[in-house]
Amino acid sequence: MTRQSSSPALRVTSWNLLNGRSLVDGNASRQTLERGLSRFLEEFTPDLLAIQEVDDLQPRSDGIHQTKVIADLMGTEHWHYQPTLFGTPGGEWSTTKQEESPTYGIALISRLAVRNFHIKELGTAPFGAPLAIPTPKGVRIRYVPDEPRVVVAAELMDGTIVASTHLSFVPGFNVRQLRMAEKWLRTLGERVILMGDFNLPWGLAEKSTPLRSLTKAKSYPSWSPKVQFDYILASEGIEGREIVHKQAMISDHRPISAVIG
């Protein structure tokens, strides 16, 4: 059953889930996802959850619709999953819709009623980049092509706009995407909250737009955070209290949260 908040406070979380993968054994099964999310939700239950790097029909994650599984755990039917590619990340994939194809993307889940969901495509960098990828066993360097990027926005009943995105890791291009997303969100409403993995360290996300960061915690890598890639940005007049989380059972990112209002 969907719950309407009885308090003016709005609880929000953003989390790059790494397809629900355990960093202990690499398992991304349904059971691993449900255990990891259930444990997190016992600690903090957001009204809106922005998630990135989530699967649907992927063999590596038991072929489940991960967004729906998480929405069921949160007890809500208000959610939108937006695939950004069709196929397998890191393998063969396409931007062309294919029926019954595995997909990968981002989502926004709300325990509050949503008037409308809105989608904005942010484009793809024309080239990738060599990335230093930390693992519990050390750092690996590999070239990674960029992927299509989008932003998903929920228009709440009070007019608040809450959005989820996962920006490019290509320097400069991610700043361009962030500015594009911010300008678009302001066409939807004056009260804006933008969450996600922006791939922008050193507080660059806050420095690149008029939006103000409600969170400061380093979130990556999850076992020993050294950098802030994940943000909760808000328009002027929105105040929030940051909630700092410990490493979860899943993902190489820690969740970030804020209580607003």
pLDDT of residue 1: 39
Q: Which domain holds residue 243?
A: 10-260
Give domain status of residue 5, yes or no: no
Residue 41 has pLDDT above 60, yes or no: yes
105-150 per-position pLDDT tens digit: 999 999 999 999 999 999 999 877 777 666 666 667 766 788 999 9
pLDDT of residue 138: 66
Give domain status of residue 3, yes or no: no
Residue 5 has pLDDT above 50, yes or no: no
Instruction: Determine what percent of the chain is predicted with pLDDT higher than 90.
Output: 82
**Spatial contact of 201 and 229, defined as CB atoms under 8 Å apart:** yes
Domains in the chain, number = 1
Residue bearing the bigger pLDDT, 84 or 135:
84
Q: Pick from 248, 232, 244: which is nearest to 10 by CA?
A: 232
pLDDT of residue 144: 75
Please list the alpha-helical segments (H only) found in the chain. 30-43, 66-74, 173-188, 204-208
Find how far residue 78's CA is from the centre of its chain: 16
* CATH at 236: 3.60.10.10
Give domain status of residue 134, yes or no: yes
- For the chain, how many residues are written? 261
**Spatial contact of 115 and 157, defined as CB atoms under 8 Å apart:** yes
Give domain status of residue 2, yes or no: no
Distance separating the N- and C-terminal Cα atoms of the chain: 24
Give domain status of residue 37, yes or no: yes
228 burial (CB, 10 Å; 0-12 / 13-18 / 19+) is buried
191-226 per-position pLDDT tens digit: 999 999 999 999 999 999 999 999 999 999 999 999
Residue 7 has pLDDT above 50, yes or no: no
Give domain status of residue 80, yes or no: yes
Residue 92 has pLDDT above 90, yes or no: no
> Which is it for strands 212-213 and 230-234: parallel, antiparallel or unpaired?
antiparallel
Residue 4 has pLDDT above 60, yes or no: no
* Mean pLDDT, range 19-28, rounded to an integer: 94
Give domain status of residue 193, yes or no: yes
Average per-residue pLDDT in the chain? 92
Give domain status of residue 1, yes or no: no
pLDDT of residue 93: 80
